[in-house]
Amino acid sequence: MSRAELGPIGVYHRVVVYLLFAILLLPLLGTFIYSISSSWSATILPSGFSIKWYVQLWSDPRFLSAFGQSLLVCVGALVLSVVLILPLLFVVHYHFPKLDAVMNILILLPFAVPPVVSSVGLLQLYGSGRFAMVGTPWILIGCYFTVALPFMYRAITNNLQAINLRDLMDAAQLLGASTFQAAFLVVLPNLRKGLMVALLLSFSFLFGEFVFANILVGTRYETLQVYLNNMRNSSGHFTSALVISYFFFVLVLTWIANILNRDKSE
């Protein structure tokens, strides 16, 4: 569409959007340039460019271990969330819709307690004894599960309300499907977009979580954010390469998810 077709108001709105994108991307661009500069201190532009910081980062076994461990706890927490939340939401919306108001309150409780306070309580409960889990990935998976609950619940609930669950189930049962078949073969495919949004939001938040990971496991099960905190006194070029690698990974993951989530008719 040309500028003449857009009109002056349309051009103004487009310029504003482009300016906002530029403002948001400038810090990221500066971090990226710093991560590929060989030296940049007292000059306006870097004195040279090099990828040695990325080579150093991705050849560091400690970084690769922290990256893999972050993936493990995030994926574990999200799998647990999906397995527990999807059946729960189906039962609430189909059989007990009046409980939705109560669930909206309960599901936000993890955000009501600050992570530092929660961590202190968890240290007291699971620091010793038969259920000692401090320093293991299991306690992180449990914490991340509670953190992901609001994202998962709200996104899937909105999707269930949009597809009109009761009418969809009744139509499927009239055609001979059992309750399980209707839920698995009819309702679940219609929840694909809502579920994908919930997973992406939750993963992006959990992958960058620091407080629980630092207090409950620390270096005993070093995650990516704990690794970044421990490397804060190293070269700024190195930590910039780490930040850009983290952003690029989330960006690629989001791009792949959008491709998988695209309608076949598009």
Could you give the CA distance from residue 210 to residue 232 in angstroms, rounded to a whole number? 14
Could you give the CA distance from residue 50 to residue 53 in angstroms, rounded to a whole number? 7
Could you give the CA distance from residue 4 to residue 10 in angstroms, rounded to a whole number? 9
Beta bridge partners of 37: 49
**pLDDT category, 5, cuts 50, 70, 90?**
low
Domains and CATH numbers, the chain: 3-50 (no CATH), 61-260 (1.10.3720.10)
Question: What pLDDT score was predicted for residue 7?
Answer: 63
pLDDT, tens only, 179-191:
888 888 888 888 8
Mean pLDDT over each residue of the chain, to the nearest integer: 83
pLDDT, tens only, 220-241:
899 988 998 888 777 788 888 8
Please report, rounded to a whole number, the percentage of residues in the chain having pLDDT higher than 90: 11
The amino acid sitting at 103 is: M
Question: What pLDDT score was predicted for residue 265?
Answer: 44
Q: For 182, which DSSP code? A: I
Q: Where are the alpha helices (DSSP H) in 52-207?
A: 52-58, 61-95, 100-106, 109-112, 115-126, 137-163, 165-174, 179-181, 188-190, 192-207
Q: Does residue 61 carry a pLDDT above 90? A: yes
Stated pTM of the model: 0.81
Place of tokens 């500028």: 3
